[in-house]
Every structure is written in C-alpha cells, then in structure tokens.
Homo-oligomer: A and B are copies of this chain.
Amino acid sequence: MASLILKRSSPSALKSIVDGLRMGASSSRAYASVAAGTDVVAAAPDVSLQKARSWDEAVSSNFATTPLKDIFKGKKVVIFGLPGAYTGVCSQQHVPSYKNNIDKFKAKGIDSVICVAVNDPYVMNAWAEKLQAKDAIEFYGDFDGSFHKSLDLGKDLSVALLGPRSQRWSAYVEDGKIKKLNVEEAPSDMKVSGADVILGQI
C-alpha cells in the first residue's frame, strides 16, 4: 500500500480508505472471471469504447464510438483500466508508469498502449491532457461501464464517491485474445497492474 496518495493521508483517513476500498474488494471476488484466453471482442460483441476527445470533436464526429474489433483485431495491445480520472493512484502512479515506459512497449512490438476508465470521453480527454500523456497513450472512455461489465471487471466505488466504476487492472491482448491479465485485489493497490509487471510478461 505504499502509494503516494496513501502516504500523503493522515493515519485515520488512510485506515478509512483502505478499509473502505478493501471492504469493496472483499464483498466480491478479488479476481475477475476473465482470464488468459478470453477473446475480449467476442466477450463484448456489441460494446464500443469512446475515444477521448473534446466535446467539439465529438460533436463533429456525430458522437461516433469505436467498436472493440477496431481496437484489438490484428494488433498487439497493452490495456490498463483504473477507477477514475482525477483520482489519486491513477493520476500519480498508474498512468505515469505506462507513459514513462512507452519506449519499452514499442521496442517489444506493442501497437497500442491504452488507458480506459468508466468516465465520459471529455473527462478522459481533459485528464489525459493534464497528465501530458496523450502522445504516448491512447485514452478511451467506457461511459456506461458496459466494457468493464462485459469483462466482469466492474466495481461499485460509491464508498469513494465514484459510483459504479472498475477494478484496477492491466492486460496484454493479441488479436483480441487476452494473453495476460492482472487485477489488483483492491483498487487502492498498485502491485500487479503497473507497467513494470506487464513488461515482464510480454
């Protein structure tokens, strides 16, 4: 639990959030049912994601969405999901861990490194710009949570004033098939879903 966010917090607040987020984790299984071998396109045949972009860009695109096959088919993809834009671990550790290692992913032949969260694409876009990560990482919104739900990676984080969001996770996906999947036991953890772990798995 040695995350920046927790280090910055008071001991009582620290205990509270850890208890709260762990309570969420223990009330459902810590690991999702998807696993290596799952075809993410087949698992969510009607699901699309929404490319992070400004409101004006979305209007110009007639609010177009991106089918999963366009994201995964014929490509080597590293994708990671997190509880929310503008939350602590996500902003301070999770995204930077991928951004700072983007050259290593490219050297391994990865076509896309993708960040996804249960947020709308306008919030994802603003957050990506603030983190100066848009050049390295592709950001997608899963505004209605349907992508995460279809993979059984959804999670209620109302305890943290977020509502229905997702686990913190990462996956290496080849041509739509999950080759490696890492899901944190609690969303406040970043033990297995960072760039260092998945770089060692590819």
> Which residues of A approach B to under 8 Å, CB–CB?
5-6, 8-10, 12-14, 16-17, 20, 50, 54-56, 58-63, 65, 84-88, 91, 119-123, 125-127, 130, 141, 143-144, 158-163
Contact = CB atoms under 8 A, between A and B. Distances in A.
- How many copies of this protein are present in the complex? 2
B120 A143 contact: no
A60 to B, nearest CB: 5
Contact of A126 (B10, B58, B127): B127
Given A120-B84, A127-B126, A59 B5 contact: yes
A59 to B, nearest CB: 5
B160 A63 contact: yes
B5 A55 contact: yes
Contacts of A160: 58, 63
Given A59-B88, A86-B125, A158 B130 contact: no
A178 to B, nearest CB: 26
A56 B9 contact: yes
30 contacts: A5-B55, A5-B56, A5-B59, A9-B56, A9-B60, A10-B60, A14-B59, A16-B62, A16-B63, A17-B59, A17-B62, A17-B63, A54-B86, A55-B86, A56-B88, A58-B161, A59-B88, A63-B159, A63-B161, A85-B122, A86-B122, A86-B125, A86-B126, A87-B122, A120-B163, A123-B123, A126-B130, A143-B158, A143-B162, A144-B163
